[in-house]
Amino acid sequence: MMKIALGIVIGGLAGYLYYYFIGCDGTCPISSNPWRSILYGSVVGTLLGSTF
């Protein structure tokens, strides 16, 4: 359970950092909105946290 929670937090942080440093202003579906980037990163972090 701790690995999954840690994966959510790290993934969300990575998603926000991706938005902040790489994100676009146009019609990019994930990186144009910080909330979507955080959500996407959290989902990926959850999946990675649950596999290890």
Pair 14, 7: CB distance under 8 Å: no
Half-sphere exposure of 42 (CA within 13 A, CB side): 11
What pLDDT does residue 16 have?
Answer: 95
Cα–Cα distance, 34 to 22 (Å, whole number)? 11
| Per-position pLDDT tens, the chain of length 52 | 889 999 999 999 999 999 999 888 778 887 788 899 999 999 999 999 888 7
Neighbouring CB atoms inside 10 A of 26's CB total 7
Q: What's this model's pTM, rounded to 2 decimal places? A: 0.84
What pLDDT does residue 27 have?
Answer: 80
Give φ, ψ of 16 to 5 degrees. Answer: -65, -40
